[in-house]
């Protein structure tokens, strides 16, 4: 795909005057080193801004998601409860990571951005897979591998791709597998073998999709599993993502946050017009490649995830024109303005060149790209509004103790944990603690480990 010179969206409209309530990104980001700062003195005029203008414009989808969750728990009887108990219940439902912020050591003169940064760290910690979650996922793969080799072909390989292979999976993400065999395998026969072995429930064998697939839920944990045959493209993509994460450590944290954000708005699946995991990784990677302060080494990306999240929402929610600019993350990354495609309906889409295959556009099927950018737009306004309000609260109540500052979340309603994810984690933990796999043949040949998983 030919590349032509394009105006970098980072330098377009980033400093336009919308309000006198602005805070420079340099004040929010942690600098690299003094020597690195000296090199960037001439770049001050190119600094982008973060608007701290009070706004209350959430997308309709965000409001609906929160209203549904509130309605589901509205039957709880709060009569006789104090305000503190009600607030605690609210955050237990929406923000289970919030208690972790109270244990963090912060200075007495803490700023709103420090509070925002510390809460985001706690959210990321909450999203980290537990030892039980990693063990059970590996055991599910082992069970499937055992069935395939015993019932279909002893020489067949069962390989993992997708988010679990690249370690960017959420607690309820599905497991993507491919069966590779020199002997032709029949998808229906594989499904029958898995069903007979008691591995799965809700089995679906979809033969007429662009990529035929078996879909089911693991019988013990309820985790979703997708299996395809004899395709190595997913394995190659997973390796590319692992390589990108090694080169840009901040990529994993930002990807997890964006995936959670889109998942809670039902925009994380391509078939509904949203962005798939591979496309999300590429959008985040492009941000890290093109960010002027990272390119000039004024900041270290992994030390400034909170600021970069705001930049991500600002870039793709305000400044990036998906109708005329495409993204390539090959090499040092670039933008291109030729051969920009649209959806089948004629609407704009994210044009994202596949790092594995330049002729494949991994954003072309995300027909609701405008809905995605609208959500990014609303998230930026809501987050900056929360930071502004917290700053005002700190200035107006100097005698406020640190625990009091943690009574409200700065990330809500932009981020919340859906009930399904919480229940999924509880189920996996119970299965693991109760050793519900006992009696299964595959459990006898699986290597159960006691130490914490150290997958990178």
Q: What is the DSSP string of 85-112?
A: HHHHHHHHHH-TTGGGGGGS---TT--H
Least confident window among 103-117, 161-175, 399-413, 438-452: 399-413
**Confidence at residue 15, expressed as pLDDT on a 0 to 100 scale:** 36
The tokens for 307 are: 């600021």
The tokens for 110 are: 């803490």
pLDDT in tens, 207-245: 988 899 999 999 999 999 999 999 999 999 999 999 999
> Distance between the two ends of the chain, CA-based, in angstroms?
33
**Confidence at residue 127, expressed as pLDDT on a 0 to 100 scale:** 97
Phi and psi at 52, nearest 5°, equal -115, 40
Bond preceding residue 322 cis, omega within 30 of 0: no
Q: Name which of 393, 388, 344, 445 is nearest 53 in CA terms.
A: 388
Helix (H, G, I), strand (E, B) or coil at 139: helix
Q: Are 201 and 216 in contact (CB under 8 A)?
A: yes
Q: Are 48 and 290 in contact (CB under 8 A)?
A: no
Phi and psi at 438, nearest 5°, equal -60, 135
pLDDT above 60 for 307: yes
Read off the pLDDT of each residue in 145-169 and give the average, rounded to a whole number: 95
Instruction: Tell me which DSSP letter residue 181 carries.
Output: -
pLDDT above 60 for 275: yes
The tokens for 254 are: 């930002």
**Confidence at residue 72, expressed as pLDDT on a 0 to 100 scale:** 52
Least confident window among 4-13, 27-36, 37-46, 132-141: 37-46
Alpha-carbon distance of 263 to 237, in angstroms, equals 21
**Half-sphere exposure in the Cβ direction for 167 (13 Å, CA):** 17
Alpha-carbon distance of 263 to 269, in angstroms, equals 8
pLDDT band with cut points at 50, 70 and 90 for residue 395: confident
pLDDT in tens, 4-33: 445 456 545 443 333 333 333 334 555 554
pLDDT band with cut points at 50, 70 and 90 for residue 103: low
pLDDT in tens, 337-346: 999 999 988 8
**Confidence at residue 70, expressed as pLDDT on a 0 to 100 scale:** 52
Least confident window among 59-68, 256-265, 423-432: 59-68
Alpha-carbon distance of 197 to 144, in angstroms, equals 9
Q: To the nearest whole percent, how much of the chain has pLDDT over 70?
A: 76
pLDDT band with cut points at 50, 70 and 90 for residue 63: low
* Ramachandran quadrant class, 127 (left: phi over 0; alpha: psi -120 to 50; beta: rest): alpha
**Confidence at residue 79, expressed as pLDDT on a 0 to 100 scale:** 44
pLDDT in tens, 344-369: 888 999 999 999 999 999 999 999 99
Read off the pLDDT of each residue in 235-262 and give the average, rounded to a whole number: 97
What's the whole-model pTM score? 0.82
pLDDT band with cut points at 50, 70 and 90 for residue 195: very high
Alpha-carbon distance of 128 to 454, in angstroms, equals 12
Looking at every residue in the chain, the average pLDDT score rounds to 83
Distances (CA, A) of 327 to 121, 182, 262, 307: 29, 37, 20, 22
pLDDT above 60 for 261: yes
pLDDT above 60 for 84: no
Beta strands (DSSP E) in 79-199 are 157-161, 175-180
**Confidence at residue 46, expressed as pLDDT on a 0 to 100 scale:** 36
């Amino acid at each position: 795909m030919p590349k032509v010179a394009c105006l970098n969206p980072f330098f377009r409209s980033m400093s336009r005057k919308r309000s006198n309530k602005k805070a420079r990104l340099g004040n929010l980001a942690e600098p690299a080193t003094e020597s690195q700062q000296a090199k960037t003195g001439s770049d001050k005029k190119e600094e982008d801004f973060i608007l701290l203008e009070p706004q209350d414009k959430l997308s309709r989808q965000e409001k609906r998601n929160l209203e549904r969750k509130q309605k589901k728990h509205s039957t709880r009887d709060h009569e006789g409860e104090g305000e503190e108990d009600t607030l605690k219940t609210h955050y237990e439902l929406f923000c289970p990571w919030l208690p972790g912020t109270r244990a963090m050591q912060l200075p007495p003169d803490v700023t709103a951005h420090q509070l925002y940064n510390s809460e985001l760290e706690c959210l990321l910690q909450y999203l980290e897979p537990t030892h039980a979650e990693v063990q059970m996922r590996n055991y599910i793969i082992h069970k499937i591998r055992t069935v395939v080799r015993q019932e279909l072909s002893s020489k067949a390989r069962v390989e993992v791709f997708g988010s679990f292979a690249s370690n960017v999976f959420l607690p309820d993400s599905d497991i993507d597998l491919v069966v590779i065999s020199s002997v032709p395998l029949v998808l229906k026969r594989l499904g029958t073998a898995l069903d007979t072995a008691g591995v799965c429930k809700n089995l679906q064998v979809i033969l007429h999709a662009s990529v035929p697939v078996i879909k089911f839920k693991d019988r013990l944990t309820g985790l979703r599993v997708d299996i395809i045959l004899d395709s190595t493209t997913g394995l190659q993509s997973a390796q590319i993502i692992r390589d990108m994460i090694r080169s840009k450590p901040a990529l994993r944290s930002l990807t997890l946050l964006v995936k959670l954000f889109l998942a809670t708005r039902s925009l994380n699946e391509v078939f509904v017009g949203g962005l798939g995991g591979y496309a999300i990784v590429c959008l985040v990677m492009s941000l890290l490649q093109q960010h002027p302060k990272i390119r000039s080494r004024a900041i270290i990306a992994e030390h400034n995830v909170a600021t970069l999240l705001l930049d991500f929402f600002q870039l793709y929610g305000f400044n990036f024109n998906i109708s005329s600019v495409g993204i390539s993350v090959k090499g040092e990354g670039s933008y291109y303005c030729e051969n920009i495609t649209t959806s089948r309906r004629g609407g704009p889409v994210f044009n994202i060149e596949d790092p594995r295959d330049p002729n494949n556009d991994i954003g072309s099927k995300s027909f609701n790209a405008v809905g995605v950018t609208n959500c990014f737009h609303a998230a930026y306004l809501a987050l900056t509004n929360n930071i502004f309000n917290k700053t005002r609260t700190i200035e107006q109540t100097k005698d406020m103790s640190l625990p009091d500052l943690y009574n409200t979340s700065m990330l809500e309603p932009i981020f919340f944990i859906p009930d399904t994810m919480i229940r999924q984690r509880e189920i996996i933990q119970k299965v693991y603690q109760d050793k519900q796999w006992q009696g299964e043949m595959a459990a006898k040949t699986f290597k159960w480990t006691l130490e914490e998983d150290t997958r990178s």
